Chains A and B, each alone.
Chain A
Amino acid sequence: MKWYIAKRLAFTLFATWVALTLTFGLISASPNQEQMRAMTSCAATGEDPQECKEQFQEKRGLDKPITERYQNYMINIATLNWGWSQSRSQYVIPALLDAWKFTAQYTIPVIVISTIVGYGLGLYSAYQPYTKADYGASFVAFFGISIPNFWFAIILIMLLAVQLDFLPVYYQSGIPRQQGWFSIANIKQLIMPIIVLLTASFAFQTRYSRAQALEQMNQEFVKVAKAKGASDYRLMIWHVLRMAAVPLSTSFVSRMLGIFFGGALVIEQIFAIPGLGYMTYTAIVEQDTALVLATTLITVFIAIVGNLLEDIVYVLLDPRIDYSGR
């Protein structure tokens, strides 16, 4: 197992390097929006755009050979010298440190709630299939899967914030600083983003766990446990959930990344939350190279380390699986 983990960690580094190299290659090959803007600005003021291009490239180090730029880039990544974000007028590391808190404060509750309630409801639906409760849970799940996040967010804003004046329309970033991250005012302004993000992730968890649990319930070992007089609670939690959790755990990280990219990005734009999603979006749109690279690095790292953790959890949940020979 230890050898397996060591090999996986080494692979993690290799995969991160490949991802970073690909990102560098793609960014180097794509037209530089900022450079184009600088040239446009020069042309508009009667200066020579070509000269401005050269000045721009010199200033950003883009006039150097690609090998030298690549070398500098890798050294900078490794030494945490991640550069300056043009879109935020801030160094990249402080930018990330500022932004992650705004994202974490609503994604963590979403992950926790959707996992607990989603699995619980899925299990319950599987235990009592084709009952009103099962249909109710299915309705909620399909509703969550079907409605687009942005549309649901706008409807919620119109209803809960504009019509009923119950919640604030947008996220005021001054509130956590002035009143605290766990203040009522801050929690209130997170309710709508959490609800919107929950719909999609919760729906997925419910349907997937229901399907997995139904499959496990027909297994011989469950029947044996039932015949031996195991209580319903023990049967579902100890036998069914434990086995159903094995396949569920293998897609946890990809689901969470899906929440982040599919949800947080949209949520943060609509609710004006200055988090990682909005930051990434702006960085890509404005071709803020330093920030795009940093967010790519973090995402790749989460994905790779997350997969490793999934594999380890897989072994813990199902001792029949053994990596020692690999």
Chain B
Amino acid sequence: MDLGYIRTGPEYDNILPLWFEDIEVEQPVNQVDIKLRENLKFGEGYGELTADDFLWCIDNIWKADWASFAYTNEFYVGKEDEPIQFEKVDKYTIRETIPSSRPFFPYNEPLSYQFPIPKELAEPYVKNQDAEGLEKDESIMKATFNGNLGPWDLKNWTQQSVMEFERADEYYLRKWAKEDDRVPDVFAEAPFFDEYHFQYFDKLQTARQALEAGEIDTAYVPSTKVNSYKEKDNLKLYKNPYRSWSGYLGINHRANGWSQLRNKKVRHAMAHIYNNEFIVKNILKGRAGVQNTLYPTWGTYSPDEATTFDGSLEKARQLLKEGTSSDYGYSGDTFVGPDGEQVELKLVYQSDELDDLRASYLKKRLGEVGIKLKQQTTSWTSLLGTYFQASNPAEGVSDSEKIGFGEDGSEKPSSYNSGPWDKAVSSKSWDFMLTLGFSYGPLTPASTIESLFGEKGNFNAYGYTPDKDLASMRDEAQTAESREAAAGTIQEMLAYLSEERPVIFEYNPYNYYAYRENVEGIGQSPPDSYWDKNTDRWGAKMRFSDGTSGR
């Protein structure tokens, strides 16, 4: 099934209308009128898709408590979570009244990525408040009511193997390609194949070999394998630099990490030691962009001036001397602590080709400034549960119920940040962490910044305590009168992070895809931009990533 629209470029208004023929946004953004196309039809006799279907689903499923719909919060905005009001203007038009200005509309428009379920089909589940039944209904799961709403109908599905789709002859966009100038002519006969198969591979290597043997048409290629794919006769390799993922060296600011890392000068020393330009150039072989803040340089909100570090070990040694407390210092070439012993730090990560190299580089560079590094490899689950989750009381904090924020210690944003750095810690100690990366939310980075580095952010497992009130800045950006005002605030937040270095920012990876040479219509570099392959849903979210798909 299609969506309301998809974005085709980084500018706000640059969208390809799909189900939604028109979106009228008032400035400042507090009222949006969405007009549906007139030839949208459900299959299986469920009739036309109109404004009523959307409104019924909002009230009965998407916002209903019993349904536990994953995106319910999208229907509420602002600091106080006020609901967006939806009403019917006419058969095809829905009006949204937004309680506070929301400068990022319409690209975080909640209706643009919801799939309405025909009322007759969902009604029995709604009546019985049967969320489980709704989730397991085969017609809903396989969207057999697709009708003309998407280019493909599901023909067969063998679990954990293949999904086979067949052409939907009545695809609604074919008509609009002829009548709506904004819809490219190529859609006039779309889709161009009788069948489309989506094959699952557990081993990426098998997928790549199937591609080489001509059995599939496209597969993802990790950046470490790019060289061997450049020269293949029958394949074309494409690069997408707009990957929404940020790689960095995590730093534990909490009580079970090295206390000196809470000093900015020491983190600056680390930024010299663990030099991001060297990593991108020599370890990632130039297949990534250098990042000096959470956000990539190509993004709309990238600050004009970010703080950079040139990788000088001399400066690093100086910063270490200045930044650490008086009981630390150099004994010859060795950096020693209060006990007179060489300082030893601990790095945790999930072993793989790239992270092993990153870890070796860190170890070598720390060694050059007289610090030892102990490497601890672990599984993805353990990395999250044992090291990233911060829900254990710190040493000396006896009552685990009181480790949260607030006077009574009851405020615990999430298990990844159950309280202040000196109270809540992970179950095992660590100083640095690789592997774990985050989507930086290219369209709404303010919420990502706050979640990761705000004192009470959901994902502030690092325990970083900023001087600035990032939560207020986020709210300010999200309810700004204009997009320009929002951009200014976000850039200020990013510039602040760049200078603070709560973690050592490294890179945003590129994605590589190989296509069979005879596949046509791919374009210069598919996908041409980040935007045409990512719906707004993902643009607006922050996600965990172990980074495997970005390497």
Q: Which residue of A lies closest to B159 (CB)?
A: A88
17 other contacts beyond A31-B385, A43-B413, A46-B458, with CB at 8 A cut-off?
A: A36-B385, A44-B541, A45-B70, A45-B71, A59-B132, A89-B141, A89-B159, A157-B206, A162-B212, A168-B215, A169-B210, A169-B213, A172-B199, A173-B161, A270-B206, A272-B201, A282-B160
Contact A41 B413 (CB under 8 A): no
Could you count the A-B residue pairs with CB atoms below 8 Å apart for me: how many are there? Answer: 111
**Chain A, interface size: which category?**
35 or more
User: Which applies to chain A's interface (DSSP): helix, strand, loop or mixed?
Assistant: helix
- Name B160's contact: one of A47, A55, A279 (CB within 8 Å): A279
Q: How far is the CA of A33 from the CA of B385 in the complex (A)?
A: 10
Cβ contact within 8 Å between A161 and B213: yes
A318 interfacial contact with B, CB 8 Å: no
- Does A119 have its Cβ within 8 Å of any Cβ on chain B? no
Contacts of B68 in A (CB 8 A): 55, 59
Q: Report Cα–Cα, A165/B210, bound state, in Å.
A: 11
Number of interface residues of B (CB under 8 A): 46
A72 within 8 A of B: no
Q: Which residues of A contact B74 (CB under 8 A)?
A: 45
| Chain A residues closer than 8 Å to B381, beta-carbon distance | 31, 33
Does A314 have its Cβ within 8 Å of any Cβ on chain B?
A: no
Once the chains are docked, how many angstroms separate the CA of A15 from the CA of B451?
50
Given the known interface contacts A33-B381, A46-B458, A174-B156, the answer about A272 and B206 at a Cβ–Cβ threshold of 8 Å is yes
A168 to B70, CA, bound (A): 40
A/B interface sample: 12 pairs, CB < 8 A = A44-B543, A88-B159, A89-B141, A91-B136, A161-B209, A168-B215, A173-B161, A174-B158, A270-B206, A273-B161, A279-B160, A281-B202
Shortest CB-to-CB span from B52 to chain A, Å, is 27
Query: Contacts A169-B209, A169-B213, A272-B206: A41 and B70 contacting too (C-beta < 8 A)?
Result: yes
Complex: how many Å from CA A325 to CA B381?
Answer: 53
- Is the CB–CB distance between B206 and A98 below 8 Å? no
Chain B hits for A50, CB < 8 A: 412
- CB-CB under 8 A for A274 and B158, given A36-B385, A43-B416: yes
Highest count of chain B CB atoms <10 Å: which of A39, A161, A173 = A173
Q: Which residue of A lies closest to B81 (CB)?
A: A46
B10 to chain A, nearest CB (A): 23
In the bound assembly, the distance between CA atoms of A55 and B132 in angstroms comes to 13
B209-A157 in contact (CB<8A): yes
Interface flag for A154 (CB, 8 Å)? yes
Question: Is the C-beta of A90 less than 8 angstroms from some C-beta in chain B?
Answer: yes
Contact B164 A174 (CB under 8 A): yes
Would you call B534 an interface residue if the criterion is a C-beta within 8 Å of the partner chain's C-beta atoms?
no
Q: By DSSP majority rule, is chain B's interface helix, strand, loop, or mixed?
A: mixed
Answer whether A47 and B73 are a contact pair too, CB < 8 Å, given A169-B213, A272-B202: yes
Q: A84 in the interface, Cβ–Cβ < 8 Å?
A: yes
A161 to B212, CA, bound (A): 10
Complex Cα–Cα for A273 and B73 (A):
39
Chain B's nearest CB lies how many Å from the CB of A171?
8
User: In the complex, which residues of chain B have a beta carbon less than 8 angstroms from the beta carbon of A237?
Assistant: none
Instruction: Find residues 437-467 in chain B having any chain A CB closer than 8 Å to their own CB.
Output: 447, 451, 458-459
Q: How far is the CA of A154 from the CA of B415 in the complex (A)?
A: 42
Minimal beta-carbon separation of B388 from chain A (angstroms): 10
Q: Are B215 and A278 in contact (CB under 8 A)?
A: no
Chain B residues near A45: list those with CB within 8 A: 70-71, 73-74, 541
Asked if A120 CB lies within 8 Å of chain B CBs, one says no
A234 and B371 CA atoms in complex are apart in Å by 76
CA distance A49 to B161 in the complex (A): 33
Q: A43-B416, A84-B136 are in contact. Are A169 and B385 (CB under 8 A)?
A: no
* Min distance, Cβ A128 to any Cβ of chain B, angstroms: 41
The answer, among B132, B200, B415, for a CB contact under 8 Å with A272, is B200
- Chain A minimum-CB-distance residue to B540: A45
- Whether, in the assembled complex, B312 has its beta carbon less than 8 Å from a beta carbon of chain A, the answer is no
Q: Give the shortest distance, in Å, between B164 (CB) and chain A (any CB).
A: 6
The answer to whether B385 and A172 touch across the interface, beta carbons within 8 angstroms, is no
Instruction: Mark A64-93 against chain B: 1 for CB-CB distance below 8 A, else 0.
Output: 000000000000000000001001111100
Q: Is B414 an interface residue (CB 8 A)?
A: yes
B542 touches A44 (CB 8 A): yes
The answer for the CA separation of A287 and B36 in the assembled complex, in Å, is: 41
- Min CB gap B134→A, angstroms: 12
* A269: Cβ under 8 A from any B Cβ: yes
Contact B202 A173 (CB under 8 A): no
Q: Please tell me if the beta carbons of A162 and B70 are within 8 angstroms of each other in the complex.
A: no
Please, how many angstroms separate the alpha-carbon atoms of A216 and B377 in the complex? 51
CB–CB B215/A274 < 8 A: no
Determine whether the beta carbon of A162 is less than 8 Å from that of B414: no
Point out the residues of chain A lying under 8 angstroms from B131, CB to CB.
Answer: 59
Determine if A40 is an interface residue (Cβ-Cβ < 8 Å).
yes
Task: State A173–B158 Cα separation when bound (angstroms).
Answer: 7
